[in-house]
Structures are given as C-alpha cells and as structure tokens.
Amino acid sequence: MSTFRAIRIDKAPEGQKGTIASWCDFDEADLMDGDVTVRVTHSTVNYKDGLAITGKSPVVRRFPMIPGIDFAGVVEHSQSGEFKAGDSVVLTGWGVGETHLGGYAQKAQVPASMLVPLPDGLSAAQAMAVGTAGFTAMLCVLALEDHGVTPGAGPAIVTGAAGGVGSVAVALLKAAGWRVVASTGRASEADYLRDLGADEILDRAELSEPGRPLGKERWAAGVDAVGSHTLANVLAQTSYRGAVAACGLAQGMDLPASVAPFILRGVSLLGVDSVMCPKPERIAAWDRLAQDLDLDKLAAMTTHIPFDNVMDVASDILAGKVRGRVVVDIG
C-alpha cells in the first residue's frame, strides 16, 4: 500500500499533558473503514480545527488522528452504489477529524453516508470556502425561515460577524432581504462587513458583559456563534416572537440568561447542529448555498493557503486573527 502526506495528532509522551500535532507519511493501509476512498483536493480551517491541532480543547477522541473536519475531493474507489470513481464530493462534520480520520491529508476513506455530491455551480475550492462554517450559517438561516420569522419583523443580528460562520451569515441574510446588524470586536473589519451586506456595525463589548434579563427590543432574529453573555444579551434584546439560531461557543458554553425573553416576549432559541445533521437536510442546505450565496462575496471573505501553512493558521484562528474563511489547497 502507498503512503500519503498528512497531519497526525498523537497523545503527548507519558508524563506530559495534551497532544502533539506533526507532519507524517500516513500509510493507506491504516485508513479507517469506509466504502469510498477520496483523493482530497481541498480542506479548510475551522475553529474546531484550531482546537484540535493546538490541543487547547479535547475535541480529538481517537489516537492517532488526522484532523480536519471538512474536505472536498474526487472519488478514487467506491464500493457504494451512491458514488463512482471520478465523482466530486464534499464532507463536513460527522465526527471526521475527531473520531474518524479527517481531511488534513491527501487521501480519506469514509462511509458513503457521510458524503454529499459537490453542488452544481460550486467548485471544490468554493465548497471549502463555505465549509462547516458556511454550511452552519445556512442551517441557521433555514431554521429562522422554518420558524416563520421574516425580514419585515425587523433587523437580524449576527454575532462573531467577522468569523467564518458570521461572514457567511451576514451575506446570506442580506441576500434574503434582512437589515443586518453585525457584531464584532474588530473595528478594523467594518468595511469588510459592510461589503458583505451589513447595515450596522455593533461593538461586541455592548453584548459581551453581564446584562439585564430583558432589554430594549432591537432585532427580530439572530445568528449567534458566540454563546455565554453575548447570547444572553441577544435574547434579552430580541423583539416579540422573534427567534435566535445558536450554533457556537466562542465566548463560552454557559448561558447566563433568564426565562424573561421566553415567557414575556415569546422569543425562541433555535439550536443548530451541523455535525450530525441528516443527509437530506445537508443536501437541501448545500443546494440553497449554491443558489443564494453571492460567489463574489464568498471570494471576498476567503483566504487561500497551502497545506504547509495549516498549523500556523490553526493557532491564528483561536487568537481571533482570522477573518472570514480559509481554504487549504491540499495539492
């Protein structure tokens, strides 16, 4: 069997804490079970990838592990009737890069159930510019739509707006007709966010500290990737019968809120999970992304890096230094 280049995460040597990420030549014979083998052409760097590579959070639950929760590529071999050699495919989530060998490698082997066809109108690189972050943003927008909240009810707020989820959410909500309030801690990104479609820039400091149980009604909908006090304050300032889609925890996993927004204003908190999202919903979300997302705006929020630079960017994304989306050319 042949080898291929990959990033490998191992437990630290005995007596040391944490994990170690390193480059390796991975043996194809050591790939995990799966009926489809994919030649990986592109991946991306998400917040969770940063946690996995740096070891700052125990997201990796199997060792050794190839990180990378997303990838796009071309089918090399298939024992599934769903895909054939030469098909272009995309994978996000399903525990890949955590419990199943992931996308920071030139080759991957996974069950066909984890893959979706590359949507018409998107290249592999564009699909990874979307990645888990953009896919999650689309799921949030669909959750708000399914709930019945509409742009006529008032503005929509996006927290962590300069990040991966936030950038795509701003563009998608604007395309859907919303007036978009973009919350960010990076004042230097104001022009970038306005170019994506933000109508108002809000300093995240207004939301990141403990607040009142109920505040002035400021928006009808929200996409929150931050959690903690930020989400609590977003809920407290959501208008009557509004809704907030929550999908992240950049500030923290806690939710120091009260029941006031729920029982006095009928506000709904919509939980959004992209990891185990059923396949029919995945395909529907990818189809909407291919139709609704302005590819020029996608390009404006995307940085391309070579495979060699992944570990550096993994640290940067945790430090809040990464704007928008990062596409990795596996090469």
Give the pLDDT mean for 23-48: 96
Beta bridge partners of 19: 11
pLDDT digits (tens, 9 = 90+) for 192-214: 999 999 999 999 999 999 999 99
Split at pLDDT 50, 70, 90, the class of 28 is: very high
- Which position has the token pair 């505040």? 215
pLDDT digits (tens, 9 = 90+) for 76-120: 999 999 999 999 999 999 999 999 999 999 999 999 999 999 999
Give the pLDDT mean for 214-238: 98
Kindly state whether residues 146 and 266 are assigned to the same domain: yes
- Which position has the token pair 């999970």? 273
Beta bridge partners of 8: 22
Answer whether 0.85 is exceeded by the pTM.
yes
DSSP 8-state secondary structure symbol assigned to residue 227: B
In a domain, 282, yes or no: no
How many domains does the structure of the chain reveal? Answer: 2
Q: Do residues 93 and 99 make contact, with C-beta atoms less than 8 angstroms apart?
A: no
Q: Indicate if the pLDDT at residue 245 is higher than 70.
A: yes
Q: Can you tell me the distance from the alpha carbon of 68 to that of 149, in angstroms, rounded to the nearest whole number?
A: 34
Amino acid symbol at 298: L
Residue 1: per-residue pLDDT: 53
Calculate the CA dihedral of residues 69, 73, 75, 76 and round it to 10 degrees: -100
Listed in order, strand segments (DSSP E) in 129-179 are: 156-158
Residue 73: per-residue pLDDT: 98
Q: Indicate if the pLDDT at residue 223 is higher than 90.
A: yes
Residue 40: per-residue pLDDT: 98
Kindly state whether residues 258 and 312 are assigned to the same domain: no
Q: What is the CATH number of the domain that holds 208?
A: 3.40.50.720
Burial status of residue 79 (CB atoms within 10 A of its CB: 0-12, 13-18, 19 or more) = exposed
pLDDT digits (tens, 9 = 90+) for 300-327: 999 999 999 999 999 999 998 999 999 9
Q: Indicate if the pLDDT at residue 294 is higher than 60.
A: yes
Percent of all residues in the chain with a pLDDT value above 70, rounded to a whole number: 100
Kindly state whether residues 96 and 157 are assigned to the same domain: no
Q: Can you tell me the distance from the alpha carbon of 35 to that of 39, in angstroms, rounded to the nearest whole number?
A: 14
Handedness of CA 283, 246, 45, 274 (dihedral sign): negative
Give the strand pairing for 156-158 and 36-44. Answer: unpaired
Kindly state whether residues 267 and 185 are assigned to the same domain: yes
In a domain, 292, yes or no: no
Give me the domain span that covers residue 151.
131-271
Percent of all residues in the chain with a pLDDT value above 90, rounded to a whole number: 95
Split at pLDDT 50, 70, 90, the class of 17 is: confident
Q: What is the CATH number of the domain that holds 17?
A: 3.90.180.10
Kindly state whether residues 47 and 112 are assigned to the same domain: yes
